[in-house]
Structure 1
Amino acid sequence: MKSLLIRLTHGLSELDITQEELETVEDFLSKKYITKKDKTYKFHSKYRAGTLELTQGSTAYLTVIGEQTRDLFIEDVLNAREGDLVIAQRILGKRGKPNGKIVEIVGRAESYSVAYIIQKDSKKSLVDIKTEHPAGVELSQEELDKFEIGEVFKINNHDGTIMESLGNMSDPLVDEKIVLAQFNKHDEFDEEVLKIARSFEEVDASYYPDRKDLRDFTFCTIDPVTAKDFDDAIYWDDKNSTLYVAIADVSEYVKPFGALDNEAIYRSFSIYLPHRSIPMLPRQLSETLCSLQPHVDRLSYVFEMQLDLESLEVIKSDVYEAIIHSDRRFNYEEIDAFFEGKLEAKNDKEKQIFEWITKLREVTDALKLERLKYGYDFRSTEIEMEIDEKGGIVSTEHAHETPSHSLIEDCMLLANKAAASMFDRGIFRIHESPSQSKLQKLYQELAGVGIFVEVKESTKETIEGIRDQASVMGLETEVDTLIIRSQMQAKYSPINLGHFGLGFEAYTHFTSPIRRYSDLIVHRLLKAIKRGDTEEGSYVLRNIESLAVTISQKEREASTIEIDFMDRKYARWANERIGKVYSARISGIDPELKADLHDEIIGARLYVTSSEHIPLFSDVKVKIDKVDIPKAKIYVNVVSEDV
C-alpha cells in the first residue's frame, strides 16, 4: 500500500498498475480521492496520503508520504493510531491555514513488526519489541501460555496475525532474524526468481560482436578481502591519460518487468552485516555471472575518460557496452602493501598492473586535493565488527581509509560525475546544504566545548575553520560527527540539486548496480540515451519521482538494519558485564546524555543515567547498570571523569 500511495502522490501511469493494485485504484477513483488525466492517476488537490503522527495533547499531523513533509494539522483522527497510513481531506482552517480530516484508514505505515512474550503480574502477554505495548494480535491467555517467555515473532500489522516464530530472545542468533523481520527482508529468493538467474549462460564473446572488446587491457579489481560481489574494475592508459572504469553490466541480465526485476526493486539494496550479506540479486548473478571475477570474460558497462593532467578535468568521455577480462583480484591490503614496497609482482600481468597503478595513484591523489577545495573529507566513524559462530562479539575496530581506498574512491567519483553529466532528469544523488537553523545549533554545541565559530564568506570556509580548531584539540572525529549531524541527509532525486558534501554540481550513482537498484536505473537510462531510444528513455523516467522516494526509503531501511544488528551485539556483550567499569566519551547531551564506549570494545552507544551535568566530549569512567536486550539499549552510570 505504501508504494502505491507514493506513486499516486507523484503520478501513476495506468501501464504500471499491477493487478493487485487495480481494485484499490478504482475504489479511490470512485471516491474522488484521485483523478485520471492523460492515462495517469494522481491524488486530487483536496486529498493527501500520509502517515499519522500523534503529538502531546491528542493533536496530530499528517506526514505526507513521498514528500516527508508535515503538511496538515489533523482535527479529526477517526480511530487512527500513530503510524497509520491514511487519506486526509484538506479543509480551510482558522487564519486560512490548511487543516485536514481523515477520511479513510488504509493500512499501517510499518507493514511488519516484531513482538515477544513477556510475563507481567504472573500473566504472559505478547508485546512490541520497540515499545513493549501490546502487539495487536488477538491471543487468548490459553494460547499465550503455550509459548515460552522470550519467544520472538514476526507480526503482520495489517491483519494482526503472527507470521512466524523467529526464536527466543535469549539466543544471540535471533538478532539477525529480528532486524530483518522488521522490514520483511530475507535472504532466500523465490524459485521463479532463481530459475531466471540460473537460465543465463557463461559469457561467450562471439555472442556479442557489437560490444567493444577490452580483454587485452590489464583490468583489475580492488575490494575488501571478504568481498564476493565485484562491481567495478579499473585500468589506466598512461600514454593517453585515460581512465577506464568498467562496471558490471547488470542491466544486460535484469530487464524491466518480470520476477527478477520486481525482486530487485523490492530489495533495492544489498545489506551488509558483519558476518554476511543479504544480496539484492540472487548469488548466481551477484557473486558469479555479473561479478567482475578474475580470469573470466565478463560483460561490463565502461566509462572511458581522458583527463587533462594539468587542469584535472575530463576533456573527453564516452560510455559503452564492453567485454573485459580482469587479470587480478586484489584486496585493499595487497595494494597498500605494494605502495609500501612490501609486495612484488609475481608475473608479467601483475608487473603491468603495478606499473600503471603507480602512475594512476599520482593522478587520483591530485584529483582528491582538487576535490577537497570544494568538498569535504570527514573522518570515518565506521566500526568494523567481528562476531563468532554463536553470535557474540570477537572484536571491534575503526575502519581506516588507506591509499588503496582513496585511489578506488576517486576513480568511482569520476565515473559517477561523468554519468550525472549525461542527463537533466533521472536519478541524481543529492546532498543539500545545511539550513541556517541547523548551522546555528551546531555553532552552539561547539561553543560548549570551546570551539568558537567565525562565520566566513562561505559555509565551506566556516566549516574548515571549525575542523582546524578541532584538530588542535584532538577532537577531529567527534566534531566531524557533529558537522555531519547538522547536514541534510543524502538521498536520491529526479532533479539535480548538487552534492554539498562532495562539492559536486551534479552527481549520481553509476558504479554499483549489483548492490544498488539506483545504479541499475542509471545504466538503463544511459543506454537509452546512447541509442537515441526515446521510448525506452520515457519508460525509465515514467515514475522516476516515486522511484527516487522509494529507493531513498529502502536505503534508510538497509542502514537501520545494519546499525540495529550491531547495537544488539553490543547489548549482549554488555549484558554479560553488568557492574563492570569501562572508559567512554560523552557524545551527546541534548535531549539526553549519551556516551560512546572507548575501551576493549569501541563504538557501543551508552545511555547515561547520571543526572549531573557533564560537558560534551568529556572522557569518563562508566559502570554498566542495566541492559535492555529487546530494545538493544545499554544504560550506564558515570563513576568518575578521566583526568
Structure 2
Amino acid sequence: MKSLLIRLTHGLSEQDITEEELPLVREWLVKKYLTNKHNIYKFNSKYRAGVLGLVQKGTAYLHVIGENIKDLFINENNLGLATEGDLVIAQRLLGHRGPPSAKIIEIVGREQTYSVAYIILKEGRKTLVELKTEYPIGAEMTPEELNTYEVGDLFKIDNHENKIMEKIGNIKDPKADEKIVLAQFNKHDEFEEEVLKAAPSFKEVDASKYPKRKDLRDLTFCTIDPVTAKDFDDAIYWDDKNATLYVAIADVSEYVTPFGPIDTEAIYRSFSIYLPHRSIPMLPRQLSETLCSLQPHVDRLAYVFEIKLDLQTLEVVKSEVYEALMHSDRRFNYEEIDLFFEGKLHAKTKEEKEIFAWIAKLKPVTDRLREKRLQDGFDFHSTEIEMTLDENTNLVSTTVAQETPSHGLIEDCMLLANKEAAKRYKRGLFRIHEPPSQAKLQKLYQELAGIGIHVEIKNTIKETIDAIQKQAKEMDIAPEVDTLIIQSQMQARYSPINVGHFGLGFKEYTHFTSPIRRYSDLIVHRLLKAINRGDTQEQSYVLRNIESLSMAISEKEREAMIIESEYKARKYARWAQDNLNKEFKARITATDPELRAELHDEIIGAKLHFTAGSDVILFEDVLIRIDKVNIARARIYASVVGKLDK
C-alpha cells in the first residue's frame, strides 16, 4: 500500500498499475483524490498521503510520504478514528492560520503491513499480543483456538486485513529469531515457482555468441572478497603501463530484464540481506552465486569501467563503460591479499605472479586516491561487530571487523567506478548524502563538551569535524566519537536528483558496482547501456517512475538494515538470558535522554538498558550486572555495579 501511495504522489502510469491496485485507483479517482491526465494517475493537489505520527491529546502530525515537505498538523476534530501508524489520505486545509494543516479523509492501511504476535499467559489465560508491545492485536483467536497452541507460539500477522497468516515458531526456540525479523517485513528466502523456473533457463557463457562484446579474457582479472563470500560482483585489473584501471562488474542486466518474473521479485527484495549465519539473496542463487557471479576460471559477461588516470594529479583522463567478456584468473579473500602485502604470500602459478605484480603497483595508487579523497571526505572508524553462531543459532563469540589494506584497495577502486558512473547523466539514480542540520550539529557539540572535547567552529563542517576527530584520537576514544558524529549525519539515500555525497566529499556519486545484491545498481546499468546506445526511448523507459522507485529502494534498504540489526539484538538477548546476574565490562554510549551502554567484554556490542540511573559520564568504562532480559523485545536490562580505569 505504501508503495502505491508513493507512486501516486509522483504520478503513476496506467500500464504500471497492478491488477490488485487497479480497483483502489479507480475508486480514488471517483472520489476525486486522484487526477488522470494522459493516462498518468496522480494525487489531486488538495490531497496528501502519509503516515500518522504519535497521537497526543487528540492531535497528531501527518508524515507526508513521497515528498520531502513539512509534516501536516491534524487537530482533534480532523483526526477521526485514525491511530498512530495508520496510512491515510488527508485533505489539506488551506487559508488557515498556524502550521500547515490537514484533515484525514480515509484510512487506507497500516505503515507496518506485517507484524509478529505471540501467546502469553495473562491472569491465568492465554492471550495473543503484539510481540514488541504486548498490546492486544487486531487479529483475534477464540479461546478454543488459543487452547490448541502453546504459550510462546509466534504468528505472522497481516495488519491490513487483521488476519493471522501462519505460525512461525515458538519464542523459546533461537531458530525462530530469523523468522521473526523476516516476517515483520514479509521477507522470505524461498523464491516463487515462476522465478525458480526462469533462473535455470540461462545457459553457461558461450563467448562465440557475443561477437559485439569487448573481449578482455586475456587480462589477468581477479576478485577480492570476504572468505565467506559466494557472490562475486566485482573484479579488477590494473594496466600499469597505461595507468588504466579496469573495474569489471557482473552484467546482471543481461539476464534480468524489466518486468520479467525475476525482475519483479528483485524489485520487491531490492537488497540481499546478510545475517551472521547466512544470506537471503536478492536474486535466485542460480544467478547470484553461479552464472552472474564472477567466479574464477570461467568466462563471464561483465559491464566494465575502463578508467585512465593521470598519475601526477590522480584525475581521470578518460573513462568508458562497455559490455565485455572477462575471465577471472583467481578468487582471493582479503586475508590472502593482506598476507601478500606483508610479504608472507608468494605466487604459485604464472597467473598469480602476474596478478601480484600489478596489485603491488596498484596499491600505491589507491593509497594516494584515498589520501586525496580524505581532503574533502571523512574517515570514520565506527565499530562493526561480526558474530559467530552455533548450529542452533545461539551466540558463541563476537569479533570486531578489521579494515585492512586489502579492503582499502578494493574500496577505492569501487568508489572510482561509482563516481564515473554518476558523471554520465544529469537525471537518473544517485546515491546522495546531504550535510547535517545545524540542530543535529549543536546537539553533537553539546555531547562532546560533556566529555571534555572543546569544539572550535571552523570555516567548514569538514574542518570542524577533522579537529574533533584529532582531539578524540588524542583521548583514545576515536571510534566512540566517530559513532556520535555518524549519528549526527543525515542518512544516505537514493535520489533522481544529484545533490552530492557529503560524507565522501564527492560532487556526484551512485551505486554501480554491486548489481547482484542491490537493485539500485541494476537500474544504473540499464540507464548507462541506454545512454551508450543513444536510445532515448529506453532511457525514458528506465526513468519513468524513478522518483518513486528511488524512495522505495531507500525504504527497502532501511528494512534490510533493521532486519540485520534486530537479528543481532535477538542473539545478544538470548546470550544475556543465559548470563543473568553475572558481571561484565561495558562502556557508556549515551546519558541523554536515557542511560545506555554496550558490552566490552568477552562479548562485544550488546546494547544495554538500565534499570536505574547512575553517576556516570559518556564513554566511561563500567562494570555492569545483567539483571533481566525481555526475549520478546530483545532488550537487556542491567545496573552499574562499579567503575573501571580506562
TM-score (norm 1): 0.99
Superposition deviation, residue 38 in structure 1? 2.8
Asked whether the 8 Å contact 2:277–2:393 carries over to 1, the reply is no
Deviates more, 1:157-166 or 1:296-305: 157-166
Q: Give me the CA root mean square deviation.
A: 1.0
8 A Cα contact 2:128 2:140, kept in partner? no
Distance 2:333 2:451 in 1: 40
Superposed displacement of residue 55, structure 1: 3.1
Report how far residue 610 of structure 1 moved: 2.5
Could you tell me how far apart the structure 1 residues matched to 2:11 and 2:210 are?
38
Give matches, 1:2-401, under 5 Å: 2-67=2-67, 69-75=69-75, 76-92=78-94, 94-95=96-97, 97-401=99-403
Residue equivalent to 1:474: 476
**Following TM superposition, by how much is the alpha carbon of 1:93 offset from its aligned partner in structure 2, in angstroms?**
6.4
* Distance (whole Å) between structure 2 residues aligned to residue 150 and residue 18 of structure 1: 38
Distance 1:96 1:596, change over 3 A: closer
- CA pair 93-143 structure 1, distance change in 2 beyond 3 A: farther
How many pairs were matched up? 643
List per-residue Cα deviations over 1:178-206 (Å, max 9, x = no partner).
Answer: 00010000000011001111100000001
Give the alignment partner of residue 453 of structure 2, picking from 447, 451, 469.
Answer: 451
Distance in 1 (CA, whole Å) between partners of 2:7 and 2:257 is 21
2: distance between equivalents of 1:617 and 1:138? 46
8 Å CA contact 2:236, 2:246 repeated in 1: yes
Structure 1 residues 538, 385: CA separation in 2 closer, same or farther (over 3 Å shift)? Answer: same
Render the CA deviation track for 1:433-487: whole Å, top value 9, x for unaligned.
Answer: 0111111110000000000100001111100000000001000000000000000
Q: Cα deviations across residues 81-138 of structure 1 (Å, max 9, x unaligned)? A: 2111110011136425431111111111111100100001001111111111012112
* Deviation (angstroms), 1:377: 1.2
1:145, 1:60 → 2: CA distance? 39
- 1:588-637 deviation per Cα after TM superposition (whole angstroms, max 9, x unaligned): 11111100100000000000222233211111000000000000000000
Q: 2: distance between equivalents of 1:18 and 1:263?
A: 14
Query: What's 2:614 paired with?
Result: 612
Structure 2 Cα separation of the partners of residues 474 and 272 of structure 1 = 31
Q: CA offset at residue 641 of structure 1?
A: 1.2
> In structure 2, what is the Cα distance between the partners aligned to 1:483 and 1:521?
31
| Structure 2 residues not aligned, in runs of 5+ | none
Q: Distance in 2 between matches of 1:115 and 1:253?
A: 39
Report if aligned partners of 2:48, 2:89 keep a CA contact under 8 Å in 1.
Answer: yes
| Greater alpha carbon shift after TM alignment, 40-49 vs 218-227 | 40-49
* Aligned counterparts of 2:479 and 2:99: Cα–Cα separation in 1: 44
1:632 pairs with one of 620, 634, 639: 634
Does the Cα contact within 8 Å between 2:621 and 2:643 map onto a contact in 1?
yes
Could you tell which deviates more after superposition, 69-78 or 490-499?
Answer: 69-78
Give the superposition deviation at 1:400.
0.9
**Paired residue type of 1:293:** Q
- When residues 627 and 68 of structure 1 are mapped into structure 2, their CA distance, relative to the original with a 3 A threshold, is farther
Q: Deviations over 1:208-242 (max 9, x none)?
A: 00000000000000000000000000000001000
Letter in 1 for 2:73: F
Q: Could you tell me how far apart the structure 1 residues matched to 2:588 and 2:370 are?
A: 33
Deviation sequence 1:138-193 (CA, Å, 0-9, x none): 21122112210100111111111111111110110100010001000000001100
Displacement of 1:262: 0.5
Which residue identity lines up with residue 259 of structure 1 in the other structure? P
Residue equivalent to 2:501: 499
Between the aligned partners of 1:600 and 1:339, the Cα distance in structure 2 is 30
Contact (CA 8 Å) 1:380, 1:399: kept in 2 or not?
A: no
Gaps of at least 5 residues in structure 1 are none
Q: Secondary structure at the match of 1:134?
A: coil
1:510 and 1:520 in contact (8 A); partners too: yes
2:297–2:329 Cα contact (<8 Å) kept? yes
Whether contact under 8 Å (2:614, 2:640) holds in the other structure is no
Runs (4+) of structure 1 exceeding 4 A deviation are none
**Does the 8 A contact of 1:380 with 1:400 survive in 2?**
no
The equivalent residue for 2:425 is 423
The Cα shift of 1:71 comes to 2.3
- Following the alignment from structure 1 to structure 2, what is the Cα–Cα distance between the partners of residues 605 and 58? 34
CA distance in 1 between counterparts of 2:70 and 2:165 reads: 33
Q: What amino acid maps onto 1:326 in structure 2?
A: S
- Counterpart of 2:28, as a letter, is F
How is 1:403-552 mapped onto 2 (pairs within 5 angstroms)? 403-552=405-554
Q: CA deviation at 1:52?
A: 1.0
- Give 1:16 shift: 1.3
**Counterpart amino acid of residue 36 in structure 2:** K
Question: Percent identity of the aligned residues?
Answer: 70
- Aligned to 1:20, what secondary structure does the other structure show? coil
Aligned mates of 2:64, 2:190 — CA distance in 1 = 33
- Contact 1:93-1:99 within 8 A present in 2 as well: no
Distance in structure 2 (CA, Å) of the matches to 1:441 and 1:97: 25
Q: CA separation in 1, counterparts of 2:480 and 2:55?
A: 32
